[in-house]
Structure 1
């Protein structure tokens, strides 16, 4: 890569970030509903909103950056106060508004459109069917409806999307194994990976419980990514690697507390899908400056920068990249590194990765 010019070292703004071809590898479909999506779905289904519409996405400030108000049952709570469990309940409410195949396809299409607006060329989007309460027993139908929306978006030239099917930590081993067996048998379109999400601190360690499900997923050719090292410590990351064969860790920030784990991540090239705004909003760290993102990079860990749940967090990928640049002193050269690692860490196919790498090099070489 050519030596960065003075222009490349200038302050990184959102327009500069949008111009970089990139992937996003840690983003939840459940956390990508805009306020307009919610209003439209509620109206279509004749559902009353849980309180004034604006309080659903009432954003207050925390050290100068957006922090959401999580609204459940008509009561608004700051995300830091409600914690991850309260936040997950809010996602359950959102997803309960999706009741038809067309509504599911529309949600998928809108996601791809918003990603495209951020300069994202490919996304591994996490879908946890346990949040979509009205589709229980019809999970494969829900996945197919999402795939239809993503197909239409790709045909229209929008961001390409692969689905990471996520288990919930509170599910039983039998439920997880049944879900993966169904995936392995049906091979739903666009499903590229198996994931786990949910509150580590509340549920506890789950690596042993899901070992067999992840082994089946690997045998079926699915990639593996695991939420770990967020609300609990490094032990969750160890379990994800050693018990679940994780190729990528979602969050993983608490790995910084264990030098041996950092060496393992570096030696094996296991990337971390880090989401600083989410970590700050949910109280994992008190502010951006306390976040270990620079320390992880300095240690040689392959870190990508992601939004997690952009809509309720009041953000978009280009905004979080620009804030990270301002907070940590990153320049456009550093941002190109994040873009390059995002492509490498994604579960896009080899041809798409090659094309995106070439597009990125052409962009930064201009």
Structure 2
């Protein structure tokens, strides 16, 4: 592995795949737990990082950490903390996955209050930090299709210029993509754009299921499509964009290191790929680190990342005025 070109780390960046609670700095969660006298022992390492063994354990630690986020004000504070960190890493546009399950339990009235608080912090961050945020409502796969309907209703009721998309995260080993068709149809009818996690632990067939059964425009991860050449061609032909999170994939054991990651092969095959952090403090990454590691592994330079950002901005779930505004921030002079 060669040394990184330091110039790539400082490029402006677009990020499409970021879980809101999963982006919470450990110190932020520990402080909230202290304020509320909530015992979170067992989810942190001695140095204060999140502690998990594998993907299933990661999900349980994620949900344990999220229990301290019990009201709109906590999410307002969290949103500022996330955007401050993202902006410090050069991100000029970000989309965040927001689950009504963690923001009011799927109740539409409660969700409206959470969304308003999050958007208020996002508006302040745009004015002060120069970073734009948009919200993608997500259902949680392992909570089941019925609970997903409640999340879809929340998304549909608040769809607009700020809540712009709908998707699904969670454990790919539970249920099928098609089991959530009602929720995705509901979101689509409300004018929301669609994405879903697939092709991470579910294998290439889960990607094909997502495209066929949910008719999504983007796929979260999707990297295991590389195992099926016909699927790779289909993704390229359809123009489906992959929200690729290389650092996350390496930490969770999908690939041994960045050099073995298929992002470069997918890109060379004509698939639209983008770069994101997923749950950055869990995976000890930032957007700067993702750029640095891709530069080391594949020799990608500023021109390559400019193409990746253009692809991401084209696939972003935002209106054309926002897209034009962000495009100006991406220009390198």
TM-score (structure 1 length as normaliser): 0.83
Higher-Rg member (1/2): 1
Corresponding position of 1:62: none
Matches within 5 A, 1:334-353: 334-353=304-323
| Aligned mate of 1:301, from 256, 271, 280 | 271
Q: Structure 1 147/188 Cα, relative in aligned 2: closer, same or farther at 3 Å?
A: farther
Aligned-residue offset at 1:171: 3.1
The answer to whether structure 1 residue 159 and structure 2 residue 150 are counterparts is no
Aligned-residue offset at 1:314: 1.4
Corresponding position of 2:287: 317
Count of aligned pairs: 329
Q: Is the 8 A contact 1:22 1:122 kept in 2?
A: yes
TM-score (structure 2 length as normaliser): 0.91
Aligned-residue offset at 1:296: 0.4
Query: Secondary structure, in 3 states, of the residue corresponding to 1:272?
Result: strand
Aligned-residue offset at 1:311: 1.0
Query: Secondary structure, in 3 states, of the residue corresponding to 1:28?
Result: coil
- In structure 2, the gaps of 5 or more residues are none
Q: Is the 8 A contact 2:14 2:309 kept in 1?
A: yes
Q: Is the 8 A contact 1:28 1:126 kept in 2?
A: yes
The answer to whether structure 1 residue 119 and structure 2 residue 90 are counterparts is yes
- Alpha carbon RMSD of aligned pairs, Å? 2.2
Corresponding position of 1:46: 37
The answer to whether structure 1 residue 197 and structure 2 residue 169 are counterparts is yes
Corresponding position of 2:79: 108
Matches within 5 A, 1:1-366: 12-13=5-6, 15-18=7-10, 20-51=11-42, 55=46, 57-58=48-49, 70-71=50-51, 77=52, 82-130=53-101, 132=102, 135=105, 137=107, 138-187=110-159, 190-200=162-172, 202-204=173-175, 206-360=176-330, 362-363=331-332, 366=333
Which structure's relative contact order is higher, taking Cα pairs within 8 Å and 6+ residues apart? Answer: 1
- In structure 1, the gaps of 5 or more residues are 1-9, 59-69, 72-76
> Residues 341-366 of structure 1: CA distance to partner in whole angstroms, max 9, x if unpaired?
22122112212222333443x40xx4
Aligned-residue offset at 1:158: 3.6
Query: Secondary structure, in 3 states, of the residue corresponding to 1:243?
Result: helix
